[in-house]
């Protein structure tokens, strides 16, 4: 049995109240056992195929390719059930929670995609579901709040701080500290205390495994570059990971530059952050000189987070992956451009990856794969409001 990683270089670890340690130990042991249990793996495979709709296509975007001057394939996570890659993690973790005998599931959500995915998985498995959400996000994302309630989840409003994702994660962790014996916390990204970063990565790895096989099938070769947006970084680590040993494949993570990296109003934890502890792990965080965590800023709620998964911090330091950033304005332009070029409305998060490719140009040799992590229907109101400004 392979051990679940606790650290990635110096990053990761378990910087949490003592009350949670036993639960993290239990979760680690449960995942180490489940991922090698043929019955569990078969059940997950079946749900991935028949419920999520995997494998998602690897789509040759011809008009986008012509626009950037190089062949570009889109990994269509926007076609997964509920409209984003988040469901891969939510189904896997709730299945694991059920195997562990936990009947109550909690989650946090920013834009609502992870909340909807978790509420969906809980409906499927008949588990109680509470989703913590900042009241500012509840206001901005009303349709997703309605979806969660329709699916039978309780949406718990969080009033602290800026009333957004960071505080929702903190509220979920506090709930877990208090209710740890009956409850499993389905964290939404590859962040948090060990084993969460490895657990979420393992569950999102399916994106990269499929993409790698599909690329070999379509082109008889591996891509020149794999490009994905990075907030907490779960879609990026999922698509990067199966390519880590393919040294010739470039890995590019695109962070949110918000109003600009030099303005201080951004969500680029890897490029504009410092080594620090947030939500249970050591990684790169956006903090002031006193160590107070700062609010992130991005037009995309999913990238609006002042931390990032510890494995990304390690890949940055080792140089295996390269991290870049695009602004809100670039992402919004890419959102529109992909809609008109390909008939695909991308999530504002995924629009960051497209925007970098539009600015950088395609690969002269070989081809690129972009993770289209989610669809953009959820962002229509936000984009419409910005257009009205």
Partner 1 sequence: MATEAATGVERIAAAFELARGEGRAALMPYMMAGFPDRATSLAVAEAYAESGADLVELGVPFSDPLADGPTIHAAATAALEAGATLATALEACRSISARVPVVLMVYANMILAHGGAEEFAAILAASGAAGAIVPDLPLGENEELAAALAAAGLALVPLVAPTTTPARRKAICEPAEGFIYLVSTTGTTGERAAVPAGLAELAAATRADAGSTPVAVGFGISTPGQAAEVGRIADGVIVGSRLVRAAGEAGSPQAAADAVGEFLSETRVGLAR
Choosing from 1, 178, 247, 364, the residue that interacts with partner 1 (CB under 8 A) is 178
Nearest to 54 by CA among 183, 173, 274, 205: 205
Cβ closer to partner 1: 16 or 303?
Answer: 16
Decide: is 157 part of the binding site for partner 1 (CB under 8 A): no
Decide: is 10 part of the binding site for partner 1 (CB under 8 A): no
Cβ closer to partner 1: 1 or 178?
Answer: 178
Decide: is 217 part of the binding site for partner 1 (CB under 8 A): no
Q: Kindly indicate which of the ranges 97-105, 177-185, 236-244, 378-386 contains the residues binding partner 1, using the contact rule CB under 8 A.
A: 177-185
Cβ closer to partner 1: 24 or 372?
Answer: 24
**How far from 154 is each of 105, 132, 163, 224, 343, CA to CA, in Å?**
11, 9, 17, 44, 35
Nearest to 189 by CA among 282, 88, 299, 285: 88
Q: Kindly indicate which of the ranges 48-56, 289-297, 325-333, 375-383 contains the residues binding partner 1, using the contact rule CB under 8 A.
A: 289-297
Q: Kindly indicate which of the ranges 90-98, 100-108, 232-240, 274-282 contains the residues binding partner 1, using the contact rule CB under 8 A.
A: 274-282
**Terminal CA-to-CA distance of the chain, rounded, Å?**
56
Q: Tokens at residue 383, please?
A: 């984009």
The 23-62 contact track toward partner 1, x by CB under 8 A, reads x---------------------------------------
* Shortest CB 169 distance to partner 1, Å: 9
Decide: is 287 part of the binding site for partner 1 (CB under 8 A): yes
Q: Tokens at residue 138, please?
A: 């509840």
Q: Segment 358-387, which members bind partner 1 (CB under 8 A)?
A: none
Size of the site for partner 1 (CB under 8 A): 38
Choosing from 21, 150, 216, 381, the residue that interacts with partner 1 (CB under 8 A) is 21
Catalytically active residues, by annotation: 86, 108, 373
Residues 6+ apart with CB under 8 A from 297: 256, 258, 259, 265, 266, 267, 304
Choosing from 33, 100, 156, 160, the residue that interacts with partner 1 (CB under 8 A) is 160
Starting at the earlier edge strand, list the strands of the sheet with 183-186. Answer: 154-158, 128-134, 104-109, 183-186
Cβ closer to partner 1: 261 or 277?
Answer: 277
Report d(CA 259, CA 248) in Å as an integer: 33
Write the DSSP symbol of residue 264.
T
Q: Kindly indicate which of the ranges 110-118, 130-138, 290-298, 322-330 contains the residues binding partner 1, using the contact rule CB under 8 A.
A: 290-298
Report d(CA 111, CA 197) in Å as an integer: 20
Q: What are phi and psi of 194, to 5 degrees?
A: -60, 140
Q: What are phi and psi of 95, to 5 degrees?
A: -60, -40
Decide: is 161 part of the binding site for partner 1 (CB under 8 A): yes
**Is 236 in contact with 303 (CB distance < 8 Å)?**
no
Decide: is 291 part of the binding site for partner 1 (CB under 8 A): yes
Q: Which secondary structure element, helix H or strand E, spans residue 199, and what is its range?
A: helix 196-219
Give me the residues that bind partner 1 (CB under 8 A), please.
Answer: 13-23, 160-161, 166, 170, 173-174, 177-181, 274-280, 285, 287-294
């Amino acid at each position: 049995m392979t051990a679940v990683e606790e650290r990635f270089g110096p990053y990761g670890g378990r910087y949490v109240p003592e009350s949670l340690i036993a639960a993290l130990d239990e979760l680690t042991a449960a995942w180490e056992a489940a991922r090698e249990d043929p019955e569990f793996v078969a059940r997950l495979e079946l749900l991935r195929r028949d419920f999520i709709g995997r494998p998602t296509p690897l789509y040759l975007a011809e008009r986008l390719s012509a626009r950037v001057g190089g062949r570009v394939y889109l990994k269509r996570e926007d076609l997964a059930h509920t409209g984003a890659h988040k469901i891969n993690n939510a189904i896997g973790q709730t299945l694991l929670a059920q195997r562990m005998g936990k009947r109550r599931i909690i989650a946090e959500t920013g834009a609502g995609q992870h909340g909807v995915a978790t509420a969906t998985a809980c409906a499927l498995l008949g588990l109680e579901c509470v989703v913590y959400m900042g009241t500012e996000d509840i206001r901005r994302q009303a349709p997703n709040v309605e979806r969660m309630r329709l699916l039978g989840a309780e949406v718990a409003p969080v009033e602290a701080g800026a009333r957004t994702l960071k505080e929702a994660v903190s509220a979920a962790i506090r709930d877990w500290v208090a209710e740890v014996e009956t409850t499993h916390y389905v964290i939404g990204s590859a962040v948090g205390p060990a084993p969460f970063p490895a657990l979420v990565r393992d569950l999102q790895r399916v994106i990269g495994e499929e993409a790698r096989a599909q690329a070999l099938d379509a082109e008889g070769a591996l891509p020149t570059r794999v490009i994905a947006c990075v907030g907490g970084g779960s879609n990026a680590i999922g698509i990067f990971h199966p390519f880590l040993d393919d040294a010739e494949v470039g890995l590019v993570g695109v962070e949110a530059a918000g109003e600009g990296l030099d303005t201080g109003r951004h969500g680029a934890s890897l490029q504009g952050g410092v080594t620090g502890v947030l939500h249970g792990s050591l990684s790169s965080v956006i903090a002031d000189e006193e160590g107070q965590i700062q609010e992130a800023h991005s037009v995309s709620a999913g990238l609006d987070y002042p931390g990032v998964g510890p494995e990304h911090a390690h890949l940055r330091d080792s140089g295996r992956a390269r991290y870049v950033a695009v602004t809100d304005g670039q992402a919004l332009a890419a959102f529109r451009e992909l809609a008109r070029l390909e008939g695909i409305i991308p999530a504002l998060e995924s629009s960051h990856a497209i925007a970098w490719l539009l600015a950088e140009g395609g690969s002269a040799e070989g081809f690129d794969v972009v993770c289209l992590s989610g669809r953009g229907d959820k962002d229509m109101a936000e984009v419409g409001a910005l257009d009205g400004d």
